[in-house]
Structure formats: C-alpha cells, structure tokens
Amino acid sequence: MEMDRYASKRFDIEQEDAIDVAVLEAIPFDYPGSTPEVVYETDEFTAVCPWTGLPDFGLLVIRYQPENSLVELKSLKYYLTSYRSVGILQEHAVNRILDDLVELLQPVSIAVEAEYKERGGIGTRAVARYERV
C-alpha cells in the first residue's frame, strides 16, 4: 500500500531538555506596585509533534502583570526559538513556558496562550494561567 512507506518516516526530535531556559534574562521593572499589563505576541512560534516530528506553528501571546521584573526581549526570542525542534504536545508547551516565566519573573499574574494552525481539520487553542495568591 502507498501509505506504508510513510509508517517509519520520522524527523529528528529533540527532548524537552533542549529548551534553553538558561538564556532567559530578567531586567528590573522600575514601577512596582503599578498595574500595567505587558503583552508579547509572535506568530512565529513553532515546536514539533513528539510522535511524528511534524511542525506545529502557532500564534503565541504572553500577558503578564509584573512585580519587580520584566523579561528581556532578546532572551525571550532565543528561548522561544529553542522550541523549534522540541517534541512537545501543544497543551504542554504553554504550561512549560508559563512555568519557566513564573520562575524567572515571579509576576503578579501571567497567561500564556497559543493558537495553533489547523492540522487535519482541527485547530488547537491552549491557555495556561498563573495568579499569585
């Protein structure tokens, strides 16, 4: 059968330890106690399916209320780019990004949202949230 030749086709997939958390850098926020919402958005976020290695492309939006720190943007770009070949479920990616940014920034609140392009007729939107209690 024609489809059988694809059964063993796989692309190289990196494990989650390839995500470069060490590149993330926090910079001081000079207005603690104020209530701005900081929003970063990129339509270039990509990771790969952990089973097939096929790419998942998504719009990624990070919204947070800082306390004492902001994420340095170049470091965030390098961090997000490190996901490019990582095999990670779409729903797991937003949680991993959230966890890494909460640890770095200790924000008042943060939400990480990804809206992935359709594959097989199904689009995915995943949101992870943190709010300090």
The three-class DSSP label of residue 108 is: coil
106/36 Cα distance (integer angstroms): 15
DSSP string, 31-87: -TT----EEEEEEEEEEE-TTT--EEEEEEEEEEE-SSEEE-HHHHHHHHHTTTTBB
Catalytic site residues? 49, 56
**Strand-pair partners of 131:** 109
